[in-house]
Structure 1
Amino acid sequence: MNVATPCDPQEYEASMQLAALFFLQRHQAEHLGNDQLLFSRAVQHLTGSLEVPLHISEKLVTRAYGEMKCRSKRHQLDVEASSTSVAVVTDPSSGLTWAVPVNLIYERIINAADNRRLRLVTP
């Protein structure tokens, strides 16, 4: 299937990320407990059906996956209040705000021994 790409690369990426998000949402119930397979299928969908290059597909599916997982959560990152060393997280419904040092996020989440990362795996 040939897909005409818009002239604006940001618009193209946004539309392909949206396609990835819709794919993830449609097929999530088929892969309960196996997000890795869902992730891989979404990448294959973008590369195979929409002819998105693999490296771009992986990036866009990663973003879409994060968006899908966070949509049900009400907490948000306050970008304007955050800095390079502190992430400010807000809960709009309760009005609560938390300032979390970035180094703490790195130590406890990113660099944690049990951190699982999504990677492309062919079934």
Structure 2
Amino acid sequence: MNAQTNTLNYQEYMQNTALAFLERHQAEHLGDLSALLNRAVNHLVSSFDVAEPIAIKLTSLAHVELVEIAFRQRLDLDYSSDTVVVIKDPVKGHCWSVPVSLIYERILNAPDNVRLRSANS
């Protein structure tokens, strides 16, 4: 039982490591999910000596978790204003207040912004 618990803890740790990698690097691969997943697998294999089949499985599970996280976050219109956007994660109880100017500066006006277009065009 102890060996099984250690194996589960190791797999959970490596899946969390893959999730953290995906979260950090997803913006670099907006149009190429397979490249992001391959990078995460390679990260587990090269940095943590995880066997490739296990790294693929754990990265896939981490990706599912990442998608679930993205769909549960919601804009809170009651607390947002003209200058601040409030985003909530009801499952974890987290709340973020993001200035609209920061969204404009980092996303909309970013030099590498090729996916977003003006809504008045």
TM-score by length of 2: 0.55
Give, in whole Å, the separation in 2 of the partners of 1:35 and 1:69: 12
Give CA-to-partner distance per residue, 1:69-94, whole Å, 9 cap, x none.
Answer: 111223xxxxxxxxxxxxxxxxx9xx
More helix by share: 2
CA RMSD of aligned residues (A): 1.8
Partner of 1:12: 10
Structure 1 counterpart SS, 2:18: helix
Which amino acid letter does the alignment assign opposite residue 30 of structure 1? Answer: E
Give CA-to-partner distance per residue, 1:13-62, whole Å, 9 cap, x none.
Answer: 00000000000000001101100000000000000011100110000000
Partner of 1:31: 29
Q: How does 1:22-101 map to 2 (within 5 A)?
A: 22-74=20-72
Give, in whole Å, the separation in 1 of the partners of 2:38 and 2:70: 22
Which amino acid letter does the alignment assign opposite residue 60 of structure 1? Answer: L
Q: Which has the higher contact order (CA 8 A, sep 6+)?
A: 1
Identity over aligned residues, as a percent?
43
Higher radius of gyration, 1 or 2: 2
- Point out 4+ residue stretches in structure 1 off by more than 2 angstroms: none
Give, in whole Å, the separation in 1 of the partners of 2:20 and 2:68: 14
Structure 2 portions without partners, runs of 5+: 73-89, 91-121
Structure 1 portions without partners, runs of 5+: 1-6, 75-91, 93-123
TM-score by length of 1: 0.54
Give, in whole Å, the separation in 2 of the partners of 1:21 and 1:72: 12
